[in-house]
A = this chain, B = another copy of it.
Amino acid sequence: MALYVHKYGGSSVADAGKIVNVARRLAAVHDAGHQVVTVVSAMGDTTDELIGLAHTVSREPDLRELDLLLSTGELVSITLLSMALRDLGYDAISLSGAQAGIRTDDTFGKALISEVDPERLLRELSLGRLVIVAGFQGLTPDEDITTLGRGGSDTTAVALAAALRADRCDIYTDVAGIYSADPRIVPAARKLAGVGYEEMLELAAAGAKMHPRSIELGAVYNVPIYVASSFSDAAGTLIHGASETDKMEDRIKVTGIACQTNVAKVTVQGVADRPGVAAALFEPLASAGISVDTIVQNTSADRTTTDISFTVANTDLARTLREIEQSGDAMGAASVVSDDTLASVSVVGSGMQNTPGYASRMFRILAEGGINIDMITTSEIRISCIISQNRAHDAVRLLHEGFALDVDG
C-alpha cells in the first residue's frame, strides 16, 4: 500500500463531467489498495471570475478580503469532487486548507506555508477515506484565510506530500508532462521520462507549467513529483532528486531548451564606477517588487564610468524606468536606454558548466542561424542568451535540433 498525493488543476475539474472523471481516477487508485490525498484547484476560470466580481465593488480590493473571497473557489471544487466520489459509493471527505492543517504567514495574496499539521489528514486516512483538500489556501495564526498566489495548489500538494511522507506527488494537468522544448514551438519536442528539480525550474515554460515554489519545496524535502495528463493514461514526467543519477557520467547532458519571449533590457550608461552604485540601482527595484533577471556590467575604457545592463519582464519595464529615473541622480548616470523586443533562450542540463563545449556549440548554432546574441549568462545547469524576440522560436528549433533533442534526432 502506497500513499499518494494527487493534484488536479482547474482545467481538470472545469465542469461536472470532468469532476466525475477525476472521481473515477481516484476510485481506481483506492481500488488498487492505495491511500490518496487529492488537492484540487478552483473550477476552470473561477478565480478570475471572483477577481472580476471584487472589482465590481472596489477599485482596489483589500488583499485580506480578496483572499477569503478567492478561497471559496476551491471549497466549491473540493465539495463537488467529494460528493461525486460518494455518489460512486466511496467514502470521501473534503477539507479546506484550514481543516487540512495548512498554516501560513499573513502575506495575503502570496502567503508562504509555515507548517502543515497533518493530524486531521492522518485521522481521515486511517478511516479509509479518500481525502480531498482545497489547494491554494491556508490559515494564519490569527485564523485568517490566505491564498498562496497563482499556481499555489502545486505548492499545497507538494507540502502535503512532504508532511505526510507520501510516496509520490502526482500533478495532473492538461499537458502530458515536461518536454525538451515547448511542443507548440518545436513539434519534434521529446517528452522527458525524468528530470531533476533544478532543470525543471529552468524548463518550467516547456510543457506543464509548475509553480516554481512547489519544485523548490520538492527539492528540499526530496518529494518525487510526477507530472502527467488528467485526460489520458499516457506516461508523464518524474521530477526527482539528484541522488538517483548523480553517479552516472551520462547525467551530464542537455535536457531541453527553454525560452522566454517577454524580456526587456535596460542599460544605464556612464554610471560612476565606485562602490555602492549597483546597490543604489537595484535596491529600489527590489523594494518595488520588480524581479531582475540577467545583470551584466562593463567598465568603460577610461575606467571612471561603467555601463550596467539588466533584463526584466517587459510588463515591468515602465515601472523599472520610473524607479531608475528617481535614483539616477544619486548614481550620476549619463543616460538610460531600453529595449523591450528581446527574448531569452536557454540550453538546460545537469552539470553543464563543468563540461566544456556546450556554450561554444550553442553560440555556433545561433551564429549559423544568423541570430545575434545580445547578452550571455550561465549557471550550473543553464546557458542563456538574450536575442531578438522575433528570432526566439527559430532559435529554440535550431538549438533543439542542434543538440540532437528531436524525437527522431
Contacts and interface: CB of A to CB of B under 8 A. Distances in A.
Interface centre among A20, A71, A80, A143 (most CB of B within 10 A): A80
Interface in A126-146: 143-145
Interface stretch (A3-11, A60-68, A229-237): A60-68
A75 interface: yes
Interface string A45-78: 0000010011011111110111011011001101
Contact of A76 (B72, B86, B96, B98): B72
A59 to B, nearest CB: 6
Interface residues of A, number: 41
A68 B57 contact: no
A96 B145 CA distance: 10
B75 A96 contact: no
Given A65-B94, A86-B65, A144-B99, A57 B80 contact: yes
A87 B62 CA distance: 9
A407 interface: no
A58 B75 contact: no
Interface string A213-231: 0000000000000000000
A79 interface: yes
Interface centre among A50, A81, A83, A143 (most CB of B within 10 A): A83
Copies in the complex: 2
A98 B139 CA distance: 12
A53 B65 contact: no
A352 interface: no
B54 A79 contact: yes
A19 interface: yes
A390 B81 CA distance: 47
Please classify the interface of chain A as helix (H, G, I), strand (E, B), loop, or mixed, using the class held by over half of its residues. helix
Contacts of A61: 83
A354 B317 CA distance: 83
A80 B55 CA distance: 9
A143 B120 CA distance: 10
Nearest to A120: B143
A71 B66 CA distance: 16
A84 interface: yes
Nearest to A16: B56
A39 to B, nearest CB: 16
A83 B99 contact: no
A204 interface: no
A79 B333 CA distance: 47
Contact of A72 (B66, B72, B93, B144): B72
A72 B137 CA distance: 14
Contacts of A66: 79, 83
Interface centre among A16, A65, A71, A87 (most CB of B within 10 A): A65
Nearest to A19: B57
A83 B68 contact: no
A207 B87 CA distance: 40
Interface in A73-118: 75-76, 78-84, 86-87, 93-94, 96, 98-99
Contacts of A72: 72, 75-76
Contacts of A71: 75
13 contacts: A16-B53, A54-B83, A57-B81, A57-B84, A58-B83, A62-B82, A62-B86, A65-B79, A65-B93, A68-B75, A68-B78, A72-B76, A120-B143
Given A16-B56, A16-B57, 18 more contacts: A50-B76, A53-B80, A57-B83, A57-B87, A61-B83, A62-B83, A65-B79, A65-B86, A65-B93, A65-B94, A66-B83, A68-B75, A69-B75, A69-B79, A69-B83, A96-B145, A98-B143, A99-B144
